[in-house]
């Protein structure tokens, strides 16, 4: 199992729109495509209150490529993303990291 950490830095004041999009749309589409989330976090104390962190669990890099690419071109996703951005962009930038657990990690 490998894990992907994704960090979304939102434009000022746009984090609530991103959270709503995940809750109402994105998670359902991920389920459709077999994408497994491992958790979501926002900053309680720290540098930015406009950042969303989340992790995805993948069986392999090939599993990630297949499922993420299918999600990325799903017409339902493209329409939902466009609708949620009618008032303007939500995310300023995205960073992602693919992580493999160490032998002693409690998460394998």
3-class secondary-structure state, position 101: coil
DSSP labels, 16-31 = HHHHHHIIIIIHHHHH
Give which of 24, 23, 32 is closest to 70, Cα–Cα.
32
pLDDT tens, residue by residue, 34-76: 999 999 999 999 888 899 999 999 999 999 999 999 999 999 9
Q: Is residue 108's pLDDT more than 90? A: no
Q: Which residue reads 């991103």 in tokens?
A: 18
What is the distance between the alpha carbons of residues 41 and 51, in angstroms, rounded to a whole number?
Answer: 9
Tokens of residue 25, six digits: 């749309």
The pLDDT, as a whole number, for residue 107 is: 86
Alpha helix (H) residue ranges in 1-108:
15-21, 27-33, 61-72, 75-84
For residue 90, the tally of other CB atoms under 10 A from its CB is 21
């Amino acid at each position: 199992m490998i894990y992907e950490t994704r960090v979304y830095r939102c434009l000022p004041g746009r984090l609530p729109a991103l959270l709503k999009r995940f809750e109402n749309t994105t998670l359902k589409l991920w389920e459709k495509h077999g994408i497994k989330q491992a958790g979501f976090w926002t900053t309680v104390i720290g540098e930015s209150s406009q950042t969303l962190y989340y992790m995805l669990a993948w069986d392999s890099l090939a599993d990630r490529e297949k499922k993420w690419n299918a999600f990325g071109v799903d017409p339902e996703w493209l329409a939902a993303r466009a609708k949620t951005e009618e008032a303007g962009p939500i995310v300023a930038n995205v960073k992602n990291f693919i992580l493999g657990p160490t032998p002693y990690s409690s998460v394998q």
